[in-house]
Amino acid sequence: MKSSFPLSQKYIDFINSTKNVDADFLEGTTASGKTTVGAGVKFIRMVSASKKKIHIIASKTTGTAEKNIIQQDNGILDIHKGKAKYHGNGDKDYKIPHIKFEDKIIFVLGYDNKDKWALVLGSQFGCVYIDEINTANIDFIREVSTRNDYLIATLNPDDPSLSVYKEFINRSRPYKKYAKDVPNEIMQELKEEPVPTWRYWFFTFNDNLSLSEEDIEKKKRSAPKGTKLYKNKIQGLRGRATGLVFPNFSRKNNVRATEWLKKRMTDKKEPLKFIHFSCGVDTAYSQESPDTFSFIYQGITDKGQLIILNEEVYNNASLEIPLAPSDIPPRLIVFLERNRKKWGFARDVFVDNADQATITELKKYKRQHGGVYNFLNAYKKVEIIDRIHLQLGWLNVNEYKPEADYIVLDYCVVHIGELESYSWKEDKYEPEDRNDHTINASQYGFIPFRNRIGVGG
């Protein structure tokens, strides 16, 4: 089996990595060759080696699969001339679109129509290829993932809060040889409990040897720098491309390591000092949703910067014994004390005022055990839109303000993820009610002190 285009060493290693591998996930930039090599070379190789007769290619629609995978230049039919034959309207033996290759049958499915794919997924398959798995129906992915010997999926970087990342992509790991090629912010997200036989691959323009330097530069110029489109397509980094509430948030400008903060605080010429600390709490007791309990500890500096110093997040859907309002006080006190000792004292704790049950439990706990913290209702007379506008200004950097006024320490990964995925509703100027719990907690904590943020030295 020979491809008609040059292969980088990484792609050669990818194709040849078949031992103790039963899933490959390919992410990266546009035009990196993921589909060509993934579908046309490795998938077909695995089909050829499989002992099973029936296999699957799944794309958004069968038409998309035909255009992008099967019939294009360097598609399956081009690479395997004379060996692979496509029956787009089915034939007397199989009524649905399929490819005949050697003695194997490869069904071609569209995952956009559950009525169609549900009819097919009634048995076990050899190899399954899922095109752009980030856009696939999650029920289809869950169903087909248990019905194959080998799974390969390509994806373009997308909203990192999508279920497909947590349930599948982030459970894979790169080979050590190529771990350095994975951007640090993606490597930090590959944190779910790993499946030892699942492999993660990150490919870029440079891995596609059919592209000239001029081709690469042309593609890089096609998207404006600093936009989410550039981040997704050119850098291969995750994050929704459109509709983001905080499109100006970037890890480069708004995320810092603890060492950076400690160095700033001990600077001999002009040490950074905290003038106020606060804590915000948002709650969600549902066992049926990804909504979370979120504690955010933050400080305001004498330079007018708001720094997110710590987070703690729980989700009842993932807990064997779900949390109740009475479980929150001891957990919150431990969180507050840990951060008081490390950073400074946040006397005032602002709790979502829609959750009076938790506030009641917090005040009862203080009466019973004593304590120095004030548990207060969050002040919501500052509308959500106004809070967002404030944050947008604080996130900015420019020639007059080289350092942002909203900084997040890099281990606050949930808050970073929400800032990268919190989005607007499609039909109105209002944010969606998801990916916002640490954001709400932060807002509850800064609203009373907003006039001290973004004011300079």
pLDDT tens track for 220-279: 888 887 667 788 888 888 876 567 899 889 899 999 999 999 999 999 888 999 999 999
8 A C-beta contact, residue 58 and residue 131: yes
Residue corresponding to tokens 């007769």: 53
Question: Which is more confident, 70 or 417?
Answer: 70
The token pair that represents 266 in the structure block: 């001990």
CATH for 251-452, options being 1.10.357.10, 3.40.449.10, 3.30.420.280, 3.30.479.30: 3.30.420.280
The residue type of 262 is K
Q: Mean per-residue pLDDT for 20-26? A: 97
| pLDDT surpassing 80 at residue 3 | no
| pLDDT surpassing 80 at residue 304 | yes
Residues of each domain in the chain carrying CATH 3.40.50.300: 9-227
What is the model's pLDDT at position 77? 96
Residues of each domain in the chain carrying CATH 3.30.420.280: 251-452
Q: Model confidence at 157, in pLDDT bands (50, 70, 90)? A: confident
| pLDDT surpassing 60 at residue 457 | no
What is the model's pLDDT at position 181? 95
pLDDT tens track for 405-420: 999 999 999 999 899 8
pLDDT tens track for 125-153: 999 999 999 999 999 999 999 999 999 99
CATH class of the domain defined by 9-227: alpha beta
Cα–Cα distance, 274 to 227 (Å, whole number): 33
| Widest distance between CA atoms in the chain | 82
Integer-rounded Cα Rg, in Å, for the chain is 25
pTM: 0.69
Mean of all residue pLDDT scores within the chain: 91
Cα–Cα distance, 248 to 228 (Å, whole number): 9
